[in-house]
Amino acid sequence: MRGKTILFRMGVSLVFAVAAFGQLDRLGEKIARLGKKLPVTEIRLRSDPPEARVRPFETLVVQVLAYGQEGEQKVRLRRTGAVMRVKEPSGGWLSKPFAFQGKDEEPFFEESQSRAWNIFAGASGQFVIKDAFLYTAPQTPGKYHLVAELEGKQAEIEIEVTPEAPSRRKAESVEFPPERRRDDPYRPLAEYYAPFLAQETWFEPKADYPCRFDFDGDWHGDNNWDNLEQGSSQAFVYYTAMETETHWFLIYNVFHARDYSDRCVVGTCHENDNEGIILTIRKDGSRFGRLQVMETLAHNNVYSMVADRRIARGAHDIDGAIEFYQETHPAVFIESGGHGIYGTLSPHSRYSLARDEFREGTGVTFIYKGAPERPRHAADRLVGYDLLPIYEEWWLKAREGTWDARTFDDYFLYQPFGDRPSIDFRIGGAFFGRKEAANKAKPFWGWHDNATLKRKILAVGQWGLDPAYSVSRNLRFPADEPFSLEYIYNPYLGIDRRPRPPAQPGEPSSGSQSGRVEIEVEVDGTVDVLISGETVRFEVISGQAVGSHNVRFGAPLPRGADLACRVHKLAGRGRVTLAEQPSAANGHTARVRIEDPRGGADSYRLRLECGR
């Protein structure tokens, strides 16, 4: 008995250790070969729901059931490897296979007599057989046929596509109006290089659509998993820009409400997901420069693609060339479920841009259109997305103590390697999430790359917060071209050395003796707005957390001596007052109080002007 207990414990430990690295399938197949394996004598197809009727562009699951003979008895077998196709041209689409997620009450026959197999099957539940496919119906009603083949046996099922079938798609309760065009000089650059996204889809297609963090209408991260169906599927991508004397750096974040799998073990699934792309663009005298490098993030690993063949490996290898959609838009593949991002020419990619084809199943392609469109179905093409600025949408909410909603967590102090610029306050290093696993998704300043972190080349957050330094360590640039590490503009590190435009008549000078900022914000209650330098944060005194907001600096508030400030209310129904002048005692911070007297939020616009 003691020997069996030891063996069982070893088996369970092995199962969970291997699961952590996503290797259950291979382990199961290897162990299965040690025991008896019955031949497949018959396969059947079963739809979920059973009536096999579906509306155009909606989905249903088809499962492949495998059977064999044990003596005179027909028995159910555990089998992976079925191939399924749609018989009719333009008859719909099939996802890559997955482990069936519904109720399966028909018992399996345990083929192997090996003790190792019995331990493995008992401990893992053998939820690793990928025997199901998601069928997406075409737009045209009719009867279509799915054909499956497994170990030489075939089966067929008829699916009726009709608008009279009951809808299983839940109605969305959130709709976002067109975004206001922000006064951002880097926006045209971000639009010019906005990436082409080849997003693979799986058995929960909506979880694979890129969305905004507040897709469900609120800023709480710990309800995003549960609100997936009712939230908006409008497509958004987040962006920001930084600049040195020689280069621009564009960062794109692609957010998803769920990181999911067909077997959620050892934290492999979690609420919220955020992977991304960093582009390095050389200033060459033209309006938009020349793209040299695209780096992508997949599961704490950075992959480097180049458009300039003179660039050589550094701390990282070069993982291939950049492929472009319509000449300027770098093309990336985003995997379903876990949403790791790779260049479309990477060995990890399962999408061909030349053939516009997802090799293993379904997927949606997204392009920048300046408007957030909804995918019609799990295999849609050229769906438009809009861009959202990371600084205003996320960064201003992420500083510790400035935001009441459950948006960020795991606050930390950024401590870069290489004697590089740092930050003197704590910032939220993860999105607040609790479902399946806690705080697994991170904004770009919480990202890290396993290889360079282990070697103490790049600290947590440094790849995104200091892209000039990080790409210069990851790769080697041509020696005959200058590469500056000094920022002209990096608002996350508090750097803005851009030339200021001349003051307009009636406006204060943009020199070092004056400052000017305009703020738009939605307020429901009483809120203090704190302005220091070129930083704005909000403190909720009473009522609700602030809603959408926009900040435009004409010139930052100077430091070093006391200022005299005036506040002008430009819009809003309540009172706007200057509660505290900036001074050395308060860190040269102006405090403006907004008091909204009624229930429900109102939009306020104010201008703060300061001078000596």
**Predicted local distance difference test score (pLDDT) of residue 394:** 97
Residue 577, SS3?
A: strand
Residue 590, SS3?
A: strand
Burial of 518 (0-12, 13-18, 19+ CB in 10 A): middle
- What is the arithmetic mean of pLDDT over 549-569? 81
CA distance 120 to 34: 12
CA distance 21 to 6: 23
Which parts of 390-548 are beta strand (E)? 408-413, 426-431, 475-476, 487-490, 495-496, 514-523, 525-532, 535-543
Question: pLDDT tier at 125 (50, 70, 90 boundaries)?
Answer: very low
Question: pLDDT tier at 271 (50, 70, 90 boundaries)?
Answer: very high
Q: Which residue has the tokens 């159910």?
A: 76
In 305-331, which positions are buried (b, 16+ CB within 10 angstroms) versus exposed (e)?
A: bbbbeebeebbbebbbbbbbbeeebbb
- What is the arithmetic mean of pLDDT over 277-304? 97
**Predicted local distance difference test score (pLDDT) of residue 17:** 43
User: Tell me: the pLDDT tens digits for 167-220?
Assistant: 999 999 999 998 887 779 999 999 999 999 999 999 999 999 999 999 999 999
Q: Which residue has the tokens 């088809």?
A: 62
What pTM was computed for the model?
A: 0.79
**373, 377, 379, 385 alpha-carbon torsion, rounded to 10°:** 10
Residue-range domain boundaries for the chain: 2-161, 205-322+390-496, 514-611
Question: pLDDT tier at 121 (50, 70, 90 boundaries)?
Answer: low
Question: pLDDT tier at 13 (50, 70, 90 boundaries)?
Answer: very low
The string of DSSP letters for 104-159 reads --SPPP-----HHHHHHHHHHTTTT---EEEEE--SS-EEEEEEEEETTEEEEEEE
> At residue 30, does pLDDT exceed 60?
no
% of the chain surpassing 90 pLDDT? 73
Query: What is the pairing mode between strands 236-244 and 196-201?
Result: unpaired
Q: Which CATH architecture has domain 2-161?
A: Sandwich (2.60)
> At residue 344, does pLDDT exceed 70?
yes
